[in-house]
């Protein structure tokens, strides 16, 4: 079974085609300083430690011309930690593999799902039990638009 990679521009029209954009649009990127690792379990002793600055563009984007940002709508991927309103960085140059989170085009609509191949069936699996798996059998066409490489979330909205 073949996973088709094609141009969403030709299939969906220009108005739906994502525009490549850096996370920070000005020429002077804002480096963020990593202070220390944070324990999400038991607290760890604090230390005065500063690592190298982190540039989110360099961290999330390996191939700028092939990387796009999407805003997620809906909650089918909540179990994967991808929530409504999150931004996902998507690399079109990466070949999709079994177990990747991908942006796919289904019925002329973008969707974000886990990609699995089981025997001769391609599955787009949500990560929320309230949603159903979408399956494609041999001979049915489905398009993987790109592979998700990162998620950006703003925790405090409106501040």
Architecture of domain 8-22+63-152: Ribbon (2.10)
**Mean model confidence pLDDT for the chain:** 78
**Residue among 113, 132, 137, 154 flagged as catalytic:** 113
Beta-bridged to residue 123, according to DSSP, are 116, 135
Look at residue 151 in the predicted model and tell me its pLDDT: 95
Q: Is 16 helix (H, G, I), strand (E, B) or coil?
A: helix
Q: Known catalytic residue: 37?
A: no
- All structural domains of the chain with their residue ranges: 8-22+63-152
**Residue among 76, 87, 93, 137 flagged as catalytic:** 76
Look at residue 64 in the predicted model and tell me its pLDDT: 85
Look at residue 36 in the predicted model and tell me its pLDDT: 56
Contacts of 33 (CB under 8 A, 6+ apart): 50, 51, 53, 54
CB 88 within 8 A of CB 70: yes
Check residue 83 and report its DSSP letter. Answer: -
Residue of 59 and 50 predicted with greater confidence: 59
Name the pLDDT band for 142 (thresholds 50, 70, 90).
Answer: confident
Q: Known catalytic residue: 93?
A: no
pTM: 0.72
CB 81 within 8 A of CB 60: no
């Amino acid at each position: 079974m073949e996973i088709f990679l094609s141009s969403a521009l030709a299939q969906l029209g220009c108005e739906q085609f994502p525009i490549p954009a850096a996370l920070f649009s000005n020429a002077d990127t804002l480096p963020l300083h990593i202070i220390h690792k944070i324990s999400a379990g038991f607290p760890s002793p604090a230390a005065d430690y500063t690592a190298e600055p982190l540039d989110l563009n360099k961290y999330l984007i390996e191939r700028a011309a092939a990387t796009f940002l999407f805003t997620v709508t809906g909650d089918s991927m909540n179990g994967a930690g991808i929530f409504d309103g999150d931004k996902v960085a998507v690399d079109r140059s990466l070949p999709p593999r079994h177990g990747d989170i991908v942006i796919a085009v289904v019925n002329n609509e973008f969707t974000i799902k886990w990609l699995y191949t089981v025997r001769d069936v391609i599955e787009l699996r949500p990560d929320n039990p309230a949603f159903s798996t979408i399956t494609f059998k041999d001979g049915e066409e489905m398009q993987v638009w790109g592979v998700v490489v990162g998620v950006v979330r703003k925790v405090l909205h409106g501040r």
